[in-house]
């Protein structure tokens, strides 16, 4: 088994009361990338969005609030013991699905108020969301706040090839966090764990590649966004089996339950849109 040791300090520097972290840096880069790509796609599709900057800022804030809320709910016991940490955004702890749902709801409300068609805008934004999710996982990779379960198998223990033991099975590639500031549980420090952040990056960039190929095919408005929910939901559901999170229901974690719901919602919406066969509102321009 190939193991990568991550001993980096999650914190970059403290400037007065402001703590600069790798997670915060990559989150900012992810947001900038999403806004840039969404703006590019809106222009390509010939869509003019009134007050684009304001809509983008408010949508981002809605996504951040949703991301933090979902993460806190998934680790409620920890935050009930230390409630002051709920607002400690810079230390990490943002749930991707919270960001997706929070940002989506916020954007729908804003677009409805401005009487802007939601479908074409959603399709333009979907690639940017996937790019942002992939970039944001680099921060998780460094600080360990999206950790995989332990690879407690014979191969991971340095024993010659054998059968899996009591962990999550054989993993040919693992991460080992050694910095005491890493945000994964203390009992996983120094333990080989599944490289969950890398799995999630792969899912995001793969779905992005698929949507990128389909965005000029004249699909009905809203189809790309619905397909994004379907494909990312399926991918997120399967890779979450190697995570170590609290079980919600039926042996599934929060992210897996939400992944199933969003994938199903996206599939229903996609079938409905394709059956309507409504042409895209704008013809893609090269």
Let me know if residue 176 belongs to a domain.
yes
Strand partners, 19: 14
Question: What are the distances in angstroms from CA 273 to CA 219, 223, 224?
Answer: 9, 7, 10
Let me know if residue 234 belongs to a domain.
no
Let me know if residue 88 belongs to a domain.
yes
Let me know if residue 271 belongs to a domain.
no
- 230-262 tens-digit pLDDT: 999 999 999 998 887 777 788 888 789 989 999
> Count of domains in the chain?
1
Give me 233's structure tokens.
Answer: 């939901």
Let me know if residue 147 belongs to a domain.
yes
Q: Quick one: three-class SS letters along the chain? A: CEEEEECCCCEEEEECCEEEEHHHHHHHHHHHHHHHHHHHHHHHCCCCCCCHHHHHHHHHHHHHHHHHHHHHHHCHHHHHHCHHHHHCHHHCCCCHHHHHHHHHHHHHHHHHHCCCCHHHHHHHHHHHHHHHHHHHHHHHHHHCCCCECECCCCCCCCCCCCCCCCCCCCCCEEEEECCCCCCCCHHHCCCCECCHHHHHHHHHHHHHHHHHHHCCCCCCCCHHHHHHHHHHHHHHHHHHHHECCCEEECCEEHHHHHHHHHHHHHHHHHHHHHHHCCCCCCCCCC
pLDDT of residue 285: 44
The region of weakest confidence among 9-13, 15-19, 98-102, 158-162 is 158-162
Residues in the chain: 286
Let me know if residue 140 belongs to a domain.
yes
- 51-87 tens-digit pLDDT: 777 788 888 888 888 877 877 776 666 667 767 666 7
Give me 271's structure tokens.
Answer: 């079938």
- Is residue 133 within 8 A of residue 98, CB to CB? The reply is no
- 144-165 tens-digit pLDDT: 888 888 886 544 444 333 333 3
217 falls in which pLDDT band (50, 70, 90)? confident
Let me know if residue 285 belongs to a domain.
no
- 96-117 tens-digit pLDDT: 767 778 888 888 888 888 788 8
> Which domain, by its residues, includes 156?
2-208
Percent of the chain at pLDDT > 70 equals 83
Count of CA atoms in the C-beta half-sphere (13 A) of 245: 28
Let me know if residue 116 belongs to a domain.
yes
């Amino acid at each position: 088994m190939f193991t990568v040791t991550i001993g980096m300090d999650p914190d970059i520097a403290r400037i007065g009361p402001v703590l600069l972290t790798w997670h915060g840096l990559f989150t900012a880069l992810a947001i900038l990338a999403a806004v840039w790509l969404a703006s590019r796609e809106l222009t390509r599709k010939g869509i003019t969005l009134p007050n684009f900057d304001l809509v983008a800022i408010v949508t981002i804030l809605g996504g951040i609030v949703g991301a933090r809320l979902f993460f806190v709910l998934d680790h409620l016991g920890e935050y009930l013991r230390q409630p002051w940490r709920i607002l400690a955004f810079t230390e990490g702890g943002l749930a991707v699905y919270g960001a997706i749902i929070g940002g989506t709801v916020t954007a729908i409300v804003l677009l409805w108020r401005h009487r802007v068609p939601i479908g074409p805008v959603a399709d333009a934004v979907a690639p940017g969301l996937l790019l942002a999710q992939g970039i944001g996982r680099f921060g998780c990779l460094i600080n360990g706040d999206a950790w995989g379960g332990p690879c407690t198998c014979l191969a991971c223990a340095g024993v010659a090839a054998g059968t899996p033991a009591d962990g999550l099975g054989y993993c040919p590639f693992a991460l080992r966090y050694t910095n005491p500031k890493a945000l994964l549980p203390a009992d996983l420090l120094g333990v080989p764990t599944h490289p969950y952040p890398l799995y999630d990056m792969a899912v995001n960039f793969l779905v992005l590649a698929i949507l990128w190929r389909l965005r000029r095919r004249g699909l009905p408005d809203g189809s790309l966004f619905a397909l994004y929910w379907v494909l990312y939901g399926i991918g997120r559901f399967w890779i979450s089996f190697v995570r170590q999170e609290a079980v919600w229901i039926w042996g599934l974690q929060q992210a897996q339950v939400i992944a199933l719901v969003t994938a199903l919602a996206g599939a229903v919406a996609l079938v409905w849109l394709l059956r309507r066969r409504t042409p895209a509102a704008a013809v893609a321009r090269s």
